[in-house]
């Protein structure tokens, strides 16, 4: 009797299914999705290069003009003026010029290619939660929408936080939304087309060092090109000196029309750093005494030295947008079964139980149990 039951069970055993089968029903179900970097779906108007490592504004034409002017002017100076000046005066001149040129180029690229301090936009859940908080705080009754401002006190001064309808966040103090890049930038100073980027909390010190070193480089080239022409004119006359070195004439013209704006801009930002202000705040007159007797700058540390140290020597804040991170996929994926059978409409836990039960049914009878059944 037991032998008959054993034989009938053997007849009902499942045959092993090959996992190498290519039929659609036997292929493990797993939807492969290519991972995307966050910079590829970045909501702003920025352009990214080198896999998201370089971040710039959309309009970069003026930046390339800046780069060409610096490279061409310095190239002409090192090619046509420095050999004569090193021979007639001192070889230190091209060395100092080279150091200034490399510093200017490095600070320009650092300003142009970095994240200026872009604030991440709110997710749909965060935006909905913030809307509920606004409605609860101000009351959702009536036809007039609730106010979109908050007030915080910083060093005894009341500062209003404005709501950004694009980013769906309350902007932190000193932040502003750049209309060209379509981003909220922390400690927004201004959007500079000459560097092809916004100037904010994370790249302001590099911008200041760029314009300051560019002022020294422009004055340096202008002074020694004039010296070169004067030394040549002592030998062959002024007109012959201009004919012998036409590149020097071009350098003088470029430096003459550039030095005034560059030096003026450096002086203006030196004033802003010494008083711990931004260009945006100075233009709006945020801390002007005209707004009231008690109006003052709450971010100033009280003296010029401390303000300069805070702006130029403080720790550099990290980037908040994680532009090289991966986008988290919300698509659920089923774990592939080990036996090649796809079980549709079951959860992962149910599949594990079904797989274990199937494996139990597939196991051949133990030799000892077969012998005991035969003896009975």
Per residue in 206-251, pLDDT (tens digit) is 999 999 999 999 999 999 999 999 988 888 788 888 888 888 899 9
What's the pLDDT score for residue 277?
94
Q: Which residue has the higher pLDDT, 341 or 89?
A: 89
Nearest to 342 by CA among 17, 33, 14, 34: 17
In which domain, by residue range, is 105 found?
Answer: 42-119+172-288+295-313
Q: Residue 89 falls within a domain, yes or no?
A: yes
Residue 56 has pLDDT above 80, yes or no: yes
In the block, tokens 């908050």 appear at 150
Lowest mean pLDDT among 81-95, 135-149, 298-312: 135-149
Pair 229, 241: CB distance under 8 Å: yes
Catalytic residue among 82, 192, 198, 255: 192
pLDDT at 340 over 60: no
Alpha helices in the chain, H assignment, sequence order: 2-11, 61-76, 82-88, 92-113, 124-138, 204-236, 238-244, 246-275, 279-284, 304-312, 348-362, 367-375
Using CA atoms, how far apart are residues 178 and 249, in angstroms rounded to an integer?
40
Residue 333 has a pLDDT of 46
Decide if pLDDT at 266 tops 90: yes
Convert the pLDDT of each residue in 173-198 to its tens digit. Answer: 999 999 999 999 999 999 999 999 99
| Residue 36 covered by a domain | no
**Average confidence (pLDDT) over 33-50:** 88
Q: How many domains does the chain have?
A: 1
Task: Examine residue 189 and state whether it is found in any structural domain, yes or no.
Answer: yes
Residue 344 has what pLDDT? 36
Give the whole-number percent of the chain exceeding pLDDT 90.
54
Residue 362 lies in a domain: no
* pLDDT at residue 343 is higher than 80: no
For residue 8, tell me if it sits in a domain: no
Do 217 and 104 contact (CB within 8 A), yes or no? yes
Quick check: is 192 catalytic?
A: yes
Say if 25 falls within a structural domain. Answer: no
- Whether the full predicted model's pTM is greater than 0.85, yes or no, is no
Q: Is 184 contained in some domain? A: yes
Q: Hunting for tokens 């009902």 — which residue is that?
A: 12
Res 62: pLDDT:
95
> Residue 32 domain-assigned?
no
Residue with more model confidence, 270 or 150: 270
Confidence (pLDDT) at 145: 63
Give the confidence band of 139 by pLDDT, cuts at 50, 70, 90: low
């Amino acid at each position: 009797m037991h032998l008959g039951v054993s034989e009938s069970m053997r007849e009902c055993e499942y045959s092993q299914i090959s996992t190498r089968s290519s039929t659609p029903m036997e292929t493990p179900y797993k939807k492969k999705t290519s991972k995307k970097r966050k910079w590829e779906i970045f909501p702003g108007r920025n352009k990214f290069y080198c896999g998201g490592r370089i971040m710039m504004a959309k309009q970069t034409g003026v930046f390339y003009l800046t780069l060409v002017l610096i490279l061409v002017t310095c190239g002409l100076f090192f090619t046509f003026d420095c050999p004569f000046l090193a021979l007639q005066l001192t070889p230190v001149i091209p060395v100092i010029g080279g150091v200034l040129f490399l510093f200017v180029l490095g600070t320009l690229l650092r300003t142009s290619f970095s994240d200026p301090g872009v604030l991440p936009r709110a997710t749909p859940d965060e935006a909905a939660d913030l809307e509920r908080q606004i409605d609860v705080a101000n009351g959702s009754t009536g036809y007039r929408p609730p106010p979109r401002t908050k007030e915080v006190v910083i060093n005894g001064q009341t500062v209003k936080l404005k709501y950004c309808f694009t980013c769906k966040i309350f902007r932190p103090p000193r932040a502003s939304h750049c209309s060209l890049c379509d981003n909220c930038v922390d400690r927004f100073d201004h959007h500079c087309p000459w560097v092809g980027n916004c100037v904010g909390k994370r790249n302001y010190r590099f911008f200041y060092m760029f314009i300051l070193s560019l002022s020294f480089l422009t004055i340096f080239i202008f002074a020694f090109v004039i010296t070169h022409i004067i030394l040549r004119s002592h030998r062959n006359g002024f007109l012959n000196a201009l004919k012998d070195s036409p590149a020097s004439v071009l350098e003088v013209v470029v430096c003459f029309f550039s030095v005034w704006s560059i030096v003026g801009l450096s002086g203006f930002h030196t004033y802003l750093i010494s008083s711990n202000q931004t260009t945006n705040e100075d233009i709006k007159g945020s801390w002007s005494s005209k707004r009231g007797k008690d109006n003052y700058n709450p971010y100033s540390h009280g003296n010029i030295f401390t303000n300069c140290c805070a702006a130029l020597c403080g720790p550099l804040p990290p980037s908040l947008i994680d532009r090289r991170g991966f986008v988290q996929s919300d698509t659920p994926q089923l774990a592939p079964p080990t036996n090649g059978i796809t079980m549709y409409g079951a959860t992962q836990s149910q599949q594990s139980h079904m797989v274990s039960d199937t494996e139990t049914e597939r196991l051949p009878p133990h030799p000892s149990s077969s012998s005991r059944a035969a003896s009975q």
